[in-house]
Structure 1
Amino acid sequence: MNESSPAPTLSIITICYNNRLGLERTFDSVRTQVSRNFEYIVVDGGSTDGSKQLIADNTDLITAHKSEPDRGIADAFNKGIALSTGSFLLFLNSGDVLADNETIMHLNSALSQDIDILVGDIEIGGSKYSYRKDLHWQILRNYLPHQAMCIGKELFISYGLYDQSYRLGMDYEWSLRLNPRLTRVARTPRVLSVMEPGGISTSCYKGTFWAYHAARQKNGTCPRSISAFITMLFIAKRYCGLSFRRLLRN
C-alpha cells in the first residue's frame, strides 16, 4: 500500500434471523480478534428467539445495529451496507466465524486502495475451498466465497446494491455486474472464515442454481438454452454427490 494513501477501513456485517446460538458463536469470533481496527454492523430481521437481547448485551462490541422485519437476505445485506462507513465490507453471517483471532489483523495489512475485492479461502464442514483464479468461469456458477471476501464499498455505489427480488443467489447476480472490474480482484492464500454447514444456499441448492440461471439472463452473460443446460448439469452433479455421501454414511 502506498504510505501516502489513507489506510482502508474494514466493516464487518452480520445479518441474522432467529439464530441466537449461531449469532453467539459469530460474536465470540469477532470479540477475540487481536486487532480492533474495524467496525461491526449487525442487522437482525426482528428475531423472537433472544437474538435481540444478545445484541443488546454486546453493544460494546457492535458499532451500529438494526432490528426490524426485512424483505429477505438481500434486504438485510443492503441495510448493513447503508449502516457501514468502512471502505471495505466483509459479510459474516450469523453462525459463521472468523478463521482465527488474527484474521482482522491480516486483512488490515492485506487490503489496499489499489484493489476492489480481496478474496480468501473458506472452510465448510472441515474442508477448505479456494476460489478459481480465472474469474471468467464465474459466468457458469458462483466461485466467489461471499463470507471470505472483502468488497470495496465503492462497488455498491457504482454497480448497485443486492437485488431484493432474489431470495437466493443475490451475491452471484451482483458479481455478474462486475465484469469490467474483475482485474482488480486480489487473493490471499489464507482461510478467512469458517462457514456454518447447511446454509440456505446449500440446503436449497436447486433453487440456488436456478437463481444463478436467472442472474445470467438478467445480465446477458450466457444464452438462455446454454444457461439452462448448465443449471441442470450442476443440479444433477450436486444430487449425485449428496446421494453418494449418504451411501457412504449408511
Structure 2
Amino acid sequence: MSPFFSIIIPSFNAENTIITALESILQQTFKDFEIRIVDGLSTDKTLEIIRGIDDNRIIVHSDKDKGIYDAMNKGIHYAQGEWLYFIGSDDYLYNNDVLQTLSQTLNKAKNHVIYGNVLINGNTGWATDRQVYNGKYSFQKLLKSNICHQSMFYRRSFILKNQLEYDLKYPISSDWDFNIACRLQSKFTFINTIVAVFNAGGISTGKSITEPFLEERKVKYAHLYEKYKPNIMQRLKYKINALIKKVIRK
C-alpha cells in the first residue's frame, strides 16, 4: 500500500543539519509517510548520518545531479506517496502534529495543491526573521511573489498527469515557475497553519546569482499579468489601505 506522504529532501553535504530535518519528521504523530532523500553525492558525513538511522521509511538515492531542482524532479519520480512534500535539508517541520493536522484537510481535499505558512528563521532578503510567511495567495499575488515550497503539498497523480516538473534553467526560482504552472491547472487551498521553519542561507537567500525567471516571467506569463491587473477601484482600495496603515504607524 502506498504511503500517504512522500517527503522529499534534496541534500548535499548537509551533515550539520540533516539530523534536525529528519527528527522533525520521524517524531510526527502521523506515521504514514516515506522519506525520499535525493543526495547529490555528498562528500561529508551526510550519508553516514542518514544510514545510521534505523527506519525503513527512509530511502536514500545518491547520485550526481544538476542541483536542487534536478534532485526535486528525481524525487517526484521516485516517490510512491499520494501527496508530495519538499523540505530542505536545513529546514524542519514546525511541530510534531503538523502532518496529522494537514492529513485531515488533505483527506477531504478537492484541489490538488494545499499550502500553509512557514516561519522564517533569519533574514532572507525577501522576508524577515521570525516572520510568518506569507498568508493566502490570490493568482495576482502569486505573480508577484512565490509560496514557499516548504509549506506546500502536491497531489502526486496531478503532477504526473500534467507532466509538471522544475525547469532547470531557473537556478533560484524554478519552484515559483512550477507553482504558477500548477495554479494554471488547479486552484489551491490555503490552510492557516505554520507547516515548517525555513532557515535563511539557502540558494533563495540574497541575490548573488542572476535569476532569469525574474525577467522572463513577465514575458512567459504576460497574458496573466494583464488578466489579473487590478482595476481602477482595486488600485484605489490599495492606496487607501496603504494610507490608513501609514497614519496608524504615526
TM-score, normalization by structure 2: 0.78
Match of 1:121 among 111, 117, 123: 117
Aligned to 1:230: none
Aligned to 1:188: 191
Counterpart residue type for residue 116 of structure 1: H
Aligned to 2:204: 201
Match of 2:220 among 218, 221, 224: 218
Counterpart residue type for residue 191 of structure 1: I
Aligned to 1:50: 45
Q: Deviations over 1:44-87 (max 9, x none)?
A: 11111110111211251544220111011111001111111112
Check whether the contact 2:33–2:57 (CA below 8 A) recurs between aligned residues. Answer: no
Helix, strand or coil at the partner of 1:186: strand
Helix, strand or coil at the partner of 2:205: helix
Aligned to 1:135: 139
Helix, strand or coil at the partner of 1:106: helix
Q: After TM superposition, give the deviation of residue 114 of structure 1 in Å.
A: 1.0
Aligned residues: 215
Larger proportion of helix: 1
Helix, strand or coil at the partner of 1:195: strand
Q: Does 1:101 align with 2:96?
A: yes
1:114/1:22 CA distance change after superposition, 3 Å = same
Q: Tell me the distance in 2 between the aligned counterparts of 1:136 and 1:9.
A: 31
TM-score, normalization by structure 1: 0.78
Q: Deviations over 1:135-185 (max 9, x none)?
A: 22212232x1210001111332204211122211111111222343342x1
Q: After TM superposition, give the deviation of residue 206 of structure 1 in Å.
A: 6.3
Counterpart residue type for residue 27 of structure 1: L
Aligned to 2:127: none
1:110/1:216 CA distance change after superposition, 3 Å = same
Check whether the contact 1:30–1:98 (CA below 8 A) recurs between aligned residues. Answer: yes
Q: Tell me the distance in 1 between the aligned counterparts of 2:198 and 2:220.
A: 28
Q: Does 1:150 align with 2:161?
A: no
Check whether the contact 2:4–2:33 (CA below 8 A) recurs between aligned residues. Answer: yes
Q: After TM superposition, give the deviation of residue 219 of structure 1 in Å.
A: 4.3
Q: After TM superposition, give the deviation of residue 9 of structure 1 in Å.
A: 1.8
